[in-house]
Amino acid sequence: MTTVIEQVAPPRPMPAAALHGWQVAVVRPADAAALHGLFAACSEDTVRRRFFGRLRAFPADYLAHVLAGRAEVHDAVVAYGADRARLVGLASLALPPGSPVAELGVLVGDAWQRQGVGRAMLDVLLARARDRGVLRVSAAVLPGRSALLGALGRHLPAEHLAHSADGPSGVYKLDRT
């Protein structure tokens, strides 16, 4: 069972799909060093799939927004096992001012992929987005890497799907359940 630690809103019951004992919590400024550790533990391919390029460190602006703790602009959650000092994943929803669509990003350390970490973070992040009144979520992936879009499509109705030379993307409606 996944444990959810909420710092802003009261705890919500976890969906039944949460697995493997992952703890998911709202990111906090004190997580900066652990986030750098997560990035360092990711392969070049994992980083390229998340950030669409070869990076040596988290993009500074992205990390600053994630750590700022302003959920209405850039909400983020982390996943960890028994020790919060070792994060295994980060998921975020960026909602630029005036935009009707929040952009999803998920990074899971190589050793923890396909073990329910991304799903557990996504469940919490989408529940928080619904609570804030977010109506749509978008995601884009590199060609041949559509697993994230497939996961979203299994749980949210697709409003718009597209495929370009840059890769597939989708906009999904958040229901108010």
Longest dimension (CA), the chain: 43
Q: 22 in helix, strand or coil?
A: coil
What is the per-residue pLDDT across 49-87, written as a single tens digit (0 to 9) for each? 787 778 888 888 888 888 987 888 889 999 987 766 688
Q: What is the mean pLDDT of residues 126-136?
A: 90
pLDDT grade for 17, boundaries at 50, 70 and 90: very low
Residue 30: partners with Cβ closer than 8 Å, 6 or more residues away: none
Residue 72: partners with Cβ closer than 8 Å, 6 or more residues away: 95, 132
| CA–centroid distance for 20 within its chain | 18
Q: Which of 2-6, 70-74, 131-135, 171-175 is predicted least confidently?
A: 2-6
CATH code that applies to domain 3-134: 3.40.630.30
Q: Which residue shows structure tokens 């935009």?
A: 99
Helix (H) or strand (E) holding 52: none
pLDDT of residue 77: 94
- Quote the tokens at residue 126: 């989408």
Phi and psi at 39, nearest 5°, equal: -60, -45
